[in-house]
């Protein structure tokens, strides 16, 4: 306790205060999914474009 680095792997309730418009459970789930899919904490440009197209199917990345 007390020793923590600032990374998504250590997302907790204190971090959720930065995003009050989202439910804590949602933030924890998204963080966990991101860490599972991108263990190094980074996503490629191709992955970002795929995500962008999912949210904005008629947009241009």
Q: How confident is the model at residue 1 (pLDDT cuts 50, 70, 90)?
A: very low
Q: Would you kindly state where each structural domain of the chain is located, as residue ranges?
A: 9-55
DSSP 13: H
pLDDT at 11: 67
Q: Please tell me which residue, 35 or 1, carries the higher pLDDT value.
A: 35
Model pLDDT for residues 3-12, shown as the tens digit of each residue: 444 444 556 6
pTM: 0.61
Q: What is the dihedral of CA 61, 21, 39, 3, to 10 degrees?
A: 140
Beta-carbon contacts of residue 27 (< 8 Å; ≥ 6 apart): 11, 15, 16, 19
pLDDT (tens digit per residue) in 24-61: 888 888 888 998 999 998 999 999 999 889 889 887 75
């Amino acid at each position: 306790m007390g020793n923590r680095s600032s990374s998504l792997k250590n997302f907790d309730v204190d971090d959720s205060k930065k995003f009050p418009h989202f439910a804590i459970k949602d933030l924890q789930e998204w963080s966990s999914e991101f860490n599972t899919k991108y263990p190094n904490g980074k996503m490629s440009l191709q992955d970002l474009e795929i995500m962008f197209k999912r949210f904005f199917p008629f947009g241009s990345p």
